[in-house]
Structure 1
Amino acid sequence: MSHDKVTDWTGRDDQMVENAIRRGATRRELLQLLMASGIGLAAGGTIIGRATKAFADTPKSGGSITAAGWSASTADTLDPAKASLSTDYVRCCAFYNRLTFLDDGGELKMELAESIETTDAKTWKVTLRPDVIFHDGKTLTTDDVIYSMNRHKDESVGSKAAAMAKQMETFRKIDDRVMEIELSAANADLPIILSLHHFMIIADGTTDFSTANGTGAFKCEVFEPGVRSLGVKNENYWKDQLPYLDSFEFIAISDEPARINALLSGDIALAAAINPRSMRRLETVDGVELSVSTSGNYTDLNVRLDMDPGDKAGFVEGMKYLMNREVIKRSVLRDLAVIANDQPVSPNDKYYNKDLVAREYDPERAKSLFEKAGVFGQSIPIVTSDAANSAIDMATVVQQAGQEIGMPFDVQRVPSDGYWSNYWLKAPIHFGNINPRPTPDILFSLLYTSDAPWNESHYKSEKFDKLMVEARGSLDEAKRKSIYDEMQVMISNEAGTIIPVWMSNVDALSSKLKGMKANPLGGMMGYAFAEHVWLDD
């Protein structure tokens, strides 16, 4: 028998076993089937293993799941322009689509756009896919795209992406499928920017977001802000065979032990953002799997530069030297992290400034800087919460370091509910948690320019703003890299955001839930898991 025939014969056996598995055959019945075909016990076990894996990796339609994130509030929204939490992003990804998206390998793909073209990075031609239908039966046209984009520029809307949308100067409709976007200045990153969650496309004229009318994989059946949402399969979805699930419910369980217990009891199929200290417990549990991804997520300590004590010269620098990054990496995050250098561009990014060294832990230098600021010995409040991943543990590390030099910190632990609306961006010293973004331009636009909507430390620099515009318009990669390097140094030295590590995201899920992959836009498959996962019964 030739080698080719052996290969073909084995393939037929794999398929025979896989078909038997689909019919519900037990392992004993499978072995009997193979032995009747003249295959020995050892070879039969190998074939069963291969076929079982192939069967599990084949997407299956049907079934429903409940998944739990870690943060929710009555400010939860179905308006993509206002989305700011993972809870919002999950729902927007399920109910709407974008013009483009980033796949699990970080490659840019077209979604509602069939193509996006330019010759100068300033004028962009967008051609939409044909025959895409909204949940209410309306056909997608360029009117919907123009309306969706213009909302970000309307100050009354309060879009979280307003700073990025501002560069989109005009939108011109050519016909129902073709339009042009004219930028105020060249920006080669526009197709990537359009992949962000905020730039989901809604129907022309939409003002009511008590429900969602999108083109996405699921139709919104229930939306209770701060409580839950329920999506049911869009039978007219334009992507073939997707989604696999009949429905999915999304809730938030802010208490991590409660979230884990809900997974172990079978009440939920996915528990997002598991603390690394819980991994040992879960790694030994049958029926539970861990999905780990490192894509640039971080929890940062924010010191507002316009408030006491952040407005005192030397205080922020002292806090940066008091941050024990190695302890956070090793003890808090169990080495599921990479040491960071107080700026948001991660080592995964081609524009990362590898020459910018993270500050060493130097408590005596920190003490000297606190004395210079005139605050040494004063009790300094730090607001923290479970709402920001590992923020309570990080606050404890800072507090202990302060105790060693006689600098008291009053760690104020507040509830997750309401944290993002009541404390984040507002308290003099507080923690944030930033999801990955695919380009420096997006990170800087959201977090560090003078008009950034999430400028956590109220950092303002005319030079920084000008550099960003210069980098954005440059098609010279070497020049762009040089500018971004300088901007990272400015943030690290001048801003009040202390970024100790880039964190790995760990999601825990039932072993019956298949199809989860890492994504550069964050955990839970860049928050788009619902469209892609399936249940293996």
Structure 2
Amino acid sequence: MSRSTTPAVRRRSRASATVAVAVGLSAAVALSGCTPPSPQSTDPAEWELTAQTDAPSGDIDSFTWASYAEPYSLDYAYAFDYADNQVLANVCESLLRLNPDYTLSPGLAESFSHPTPTTWVYEIRDGVTFHDGTTMTAADVVASMSRHLDPAVGSSWFSVYQNVTSIEQTGDSEVTVTEATPDSQFNLAMGGSAGVVESAATLAEKGADYGNSTGGVNCTGPFSFGGWKSGESITLERYDGYWDAENAARSGEVTFLFMADPNARSNALKSGEVDGGWMIPADAVPQLRSSDQGDMLFGLNTAVSSLIVSNLDGPLGDLRVRQALLMALDRQGIVDAALKGYGTPTNALTTSSVWVGASDQSVAAAFDGLEEYPYDLDAARKLVEEAGATGEEITYVTAPISSDFAVYAQATAAAAKSIGLKATIETVTPSAYTALFSDPSAREGVDLFYTSWYLSSPDPLEMFSVLRTGEFSNYGEWSDAAFDAVVTEAIAIDDPAARSEKTAEAQRIANEQLPWLPLYEAPTTLFLGKRITGVAPSVAFLYAPWAASIGAR
């Protein structure tokens, strides 16, 4: 949902188009004797962003890729996680294409128009075939999009479609989407999983098996689904009938190996056993930077790592306590300990990379002069005392998904204790942690949990849309009338520069009210082995066919 990115647990029905990542400890612990981490004296790690690696010298027969987890599903309606989307992006395509710089360009829709404030019209590209050789039609587009509105499907992308009243074929190659109210965000989401097109016949034939290891998928991308060995790997095969010759796959095959153990994953990359991988374990980054087996690369990211405040009925319901906790967290120390310095503390819930089309004035208004919340234990203790919260207890929930996330749990509990609160770390299974993002009952009694929340479209408003009153991913049920009004007004504005003025207001309100506590932002991490090249290091790998451009060095 990323920095030196870590695994996400972001599968939830009727959620917004953004991401959550979780990590934690191996045992539940009440940190009654913990002390807060002291500010680190190490210099911050230095890195440079790479926009594009060298072009391949030629095609390659195959390459292997390390994945931190097995996908939950390749059904685009449920592809809401890093592990799912990094595979799916190479097999299934959307109406629009999300580029590595987070701009949008034509995809399966060769053009679109916006003839009225509540209608979007898509001209569907001719000459595109599915992997079974059948021709894509406007009817396939209607069937694919309509699934997000079907309660029986329970799409994770329902929020993108929540204003949609109809999806109709209005010409031989034309599809019209009508909405109840103007919604600038709908079209922006068509570059992600919400805009994927699948064969209507395949959807009907596969039924409940669609997208799993038995049913697979039948889309239009540069690779076709080859096979899924549960617990082991997924193999994709080059599709020779791909419509976009310029972006055809350079490799005959790519195999994703499921490697949940971060040490095993790191060792496989360092030894050259595996050719590459996204989301490199933080401990391995310094070692891979000096490796002779390939290149450690850093790319554009859209994620902010934060603590989600999921209970406003407890002590964190008082803004002063939220402010105090953030001020008690040595965020640079957390970056140094968890990411080996490859990140930057932030006070905003968005990165500047998603402010595509925004005016310079709006970007300045969104980021300049935000409340800093400096590391200050004395001031933080006073805020807790003023709130009358001294001695009150908070519960932080985590899971044993990745060892570096123990830092977040321990640092948060120690910070809480240092300012007069009691803190308990509760460790649950990874699947139970996933439920925090989908099941309100799983969050009962939970005050805080960690997320690395990436945006799926080139607009920061996506982040603030999920924090409106009543939204599915507003996990703490935070409500601010002024914030809601600003976001709702912004959604109806088509022009990105004008819209960004209102979005800047939303960012400033979130910075002041702290519904989530922002920790840091960090680059996307990628290791590219010495056999291969051609990929763009960018978080757009979640929605763009990144593996197609990889060939031989």
| TM bucket normalised to smaller | 0.7 to 0.9
Partner of 1:221: 226
Residues 1:510 and 2:515 are matched in the alignment: no
Are residues 1:341 and 2:358 paired? Answer: no
Q: What is the alpha-carbon distance in structure 2 between the residues aligned to residue 68 and residue 417 of structure 1?
A: 21
1-side partners of 2:187 and 2:57: how far apart?
30
Query: Which protein shows a greater Rg?
Result: 1
Task: Work out the CA distance in 1 between the residues paired with 2:354 and 2:436.
Answer: 32
What is the rounded CA distance, in whole Å, between the counterparts of 2:435 and 2:419 in structure 1?
34
Structural mapping, 1:179-328, within 5 Å: 179-204=175-200, 206=203, 207=207, 208-209=209-210, 210=212, 211-223=216-228, 227-240=232-245, 242-306=248-312, 308-311=314-317, 314-328=320-334
Alpha-carbon spacing, 1:453–1:77, altered in 2? closer, same or farther (3 Å): farther
Could you tell which deviates more after superposition, 480-489 or 370-379? 370-379
Correspondent of 2:133 among 108, 112, 137 = 137
Amino acid at match of 2:547: A
Tell me the percent identity. Answer: 21
Aligned equivalents of 1:254 and 1:416: distance in 2?
12
SS in 1 for 2:191: coil
Question: Which of residues 379, 384, 395 is equivalent to 1:381?
Answer: 395
CA distance in 2, matches of 1:530, 1:504: 19
| Partner residue in 1 for 2:43 | none
Alignment match, 2:373: 359
1:469-488 deviation line (CA, Å, top 9, x unaligned): 31122245565233212211
Once the two structures are superposed, what CA deviation does each residue of 1:403-459 show, in whole Å capped at 9, x if it has no partner?
5445443334555465323678744121112123321232233x3133433334332
Partner residue, 1:28: none
Larger CA deviation: 508-517 vs 121-130: 121-130
Describe the shift of the 1:153–1:310 C-alpha distance in structure 2 as closer, same or farther (beyond 3 A).
farther
Indicate the larger mover: 133-142 or 357-366.
Answer: 357-366
Helix, strand or coil for the counterpart of 1:280? helix
User: Whole-Å Cα distance in 2 between the matches of residues 348 and 117 of structure 1?
Assistant: 23
Structure 2 gap ranges (5+): 1-52
**In structure 2, what is the Cα distance between the partners aligned to 1:348 and 1:405?**
35
SS in 2 for 1:263: helix
The reply to whether residue 116 of structure 1 matches residue 112 of structure 2 is yes
Work out whether residues 87 and 252 of structure 1, in 8 Å CA contact, stay in contact via their aligned partners in 2.
Answer: no
TM-score in terms of structure 2 length: 0.78
1:189 is displaced (CA, Å) by 4.7
What displacement does 1:119 show? 4.2
Which of 459, 474, 493 aligns to 1:439? It is: 459
Q: Which residue of 1 aligns with 2:86?
A: 90
Going from structure 1 to structure 2, the CA distance change for 1:338 and 1:56 (only over 3 Å counts) comes to closer
SS in 1 for 2:221: coil
CA distance 1:58–1:344, change in 2 (3 Å): closer
Question: 1:498 and 1:413 mapped to 2: Cα distance?
Answer: 20
Q: Following superposition, which runs of at least 4 residues in structure 1 exceed 6 angstroms of deviation?
A: none
Query: Per-residue deviation at 1:490?
Result: 2.5
Distance 1:310 1:251, change over 3 A: farther
**Structure 2 counterpart of 1:80, one-letter code:** Y
Determine helix, strand or coil for the equivalent of 1:63.
coil
Q: Are 1:450 and 2:451 matched, yes or no?
A: no
Residue 73 of structure 2 aligns to which amino acid in structure 1?
T
Greater shift, 270-279 or 220-229, is seen at: 220-229
Q: Deviation digits for residues 232-251 of structure 1, max 9, x if unmatched?
A: 22121112161112222223
Deviation, 1:130, is 0.8
Aligned match of 1:392: 406
**Mapped pair 1:104 → 2:97:** no
Task: Flag the 1:343–1:82 CA change in 2: closer, same or farther, 3 A.
Answer: same
Given that residues 96 and 109 in structure 2 are in contact (C-alpha distance below 8 angstroms), is that contact kept between their aligned partners in structure 1?
yes
Aligned match of 1:369: 383
Deviations 1:223-267 (A, max 9, x none): 356653222221211121611122222233233222101212333
Change (3 A) 1:452 1:224: farther
User: Which residue is equivalent to 1:42?
Assistant: none
Q: Give the letter aligned to residue 201 of structure 1.
A: V
Given residue 322 of structure 2, which amino acid in structure 1 is its aligned partner?
V
How big is the shift at 1:373?
4.9
The root-mean-square deviation of aligned C-alpha atoms, in Å, is 2.9
- Partner of 2:21 in structure 1? none
SS in 1 for 2:295: strand
Q: 1: CA distance between counterparts of 2:294 and 2:351?
A: 32
Residues in 1 aligned to 2:232 and 2:479: alpha-carbon distance in whole angstroms: 37
Q: What one-letter code is carried by the residue in structure 2 that aligns with 1:531?
A: A
Shift of 1:195: 0.4
Q: What is the identity, as a one-letter code, of the residue corresponding to 2:176?
A: E
1:295 partner SS: coil
Residue 547 of structure 2 aligns to a residue whose secondary structure is helix
3-state DSSP class of the match of 1:394? Answer: helix
3-state DSSP of counterpart to 2:455: coil
Tell me the distance in 1 between the aligned counterparts of 2:271 and 2:432: 28
